[in-house]
Amino acid sequence: MNAEDDLKACCAAAYSSDVVTLLLGDSYHPGGAALTRRLADGLGLAEGARVLDVASGRGTTALLLANAYGVRVDGVDYAPANTALARGATEAAGLSAWAVFTTGDAEQLPYAEDVFEAAVCECALCTFPDKARAAAEFARVLKPGGRLGITDVTAHPDRLPPELTGLTARIACIADARPLEEYAEILAESGLRTVRTERHDQAMLRMIDQVEARLNLLRMTSAGRLAEAGVDLDAAPAVLAAARAAVADGTLGYALLIAEKTP
């Protein structure tokens, strides 16, 4: 493994842990299911269309799309544990004919060219070490005219305080996040033209509040479990306060972006 592979494995392991579920709930990204639906509406999904969910996690987004929009979803995630959990959730929901999951790398997607009418990637591009390569893969597997929908953390890396840098912050989708305009530029270089953007910074603030409330509860009920998972309860208040301040001054935020593969 090289350094990038180590980083991917570390992020994947963190997001497949039960502690992350305890802190973030069923939806691992700001805005939750409501923002996922807004993203899907912007993609103009046709019933029966084939959709790719990159960094599909435990299958929450994929199952919502399959159930609510009648599309066929392929989910790909770097963590085998997430793939197994997503498959179990799919079987329990009776959606095995509509959603399938595989383990794979967003920077080397295991699909042929021009396969999907649409693709989504929620709160994950910010963690990919080689964002340009991931963007090229998005473009490769989309059909001409196909649309990519992203919701993601935005940040000005040079303005982040020390509490929001380093490996822990990267796993938390902060340290390697980019400004919204830079995401659009990265996609454009791969032939994905941005057609719509929206700011959803308040969703980031709501998630910070949610994590803080859950941490306070878990501090009383599961402190040992958090410690075993490497959660530094003493440092957490400063990190959350720094994140809240960064949103307030525009350094940190959350956004929705829809891009189209140019013919």
**pLDDT exceeds cutoff 90 at 132:** yes
Mean pLDDT across the stretch 17-21? 61
Q: What is the pTM of this model?
A: 0.88
Using pLDDT thresholds of 50, 70 and 90, give the confidence band for residue 51: very high
Q: What is the mean pLDDT of residues 97-119?
A: 97
**Where residue 236 falls among pLDDT bands split at 50, 70, 90?**
confident
Exposure string (b/e) for 192-202, b if CB count within 10 Å is 16 or more? Answer: bebeebeebbe
Strands 72-77 and 99-103: parallel
Q: Is the pLDDT of residue 21 over 70?
A: no
CA dist 148 and 163 (Å) reads 32
Does the pLDDT value for residue 158 go beyond 80? Answer: yes
Tens digits of residue pLDDT in 186-207: 999 999 999 999 999 999 999 8
Average pLDDT over residues 153-174: 76
Nearest one of 138, 142, 148 to 256, comparing CA atoms: 148
Task: Give counts: helices (H), strands (E), the chain.
Answer: 11, 7
pLDDT at 12: 57
| Structural domain range at position 96 | 3-261
What is the count of structural domains for the chain? 1
Question: Is pLDDT of 117 > 90?
Answer: yes
CATH of the domain at 21: 3.40.50.150
Q: How far is CA 145 from CA 37, 139, 228, 230, in A?
A: 21, 10, 47, 44
Mean pLDDT of 81-92: 95
Mean model confidence pLDDT for the chain = 88
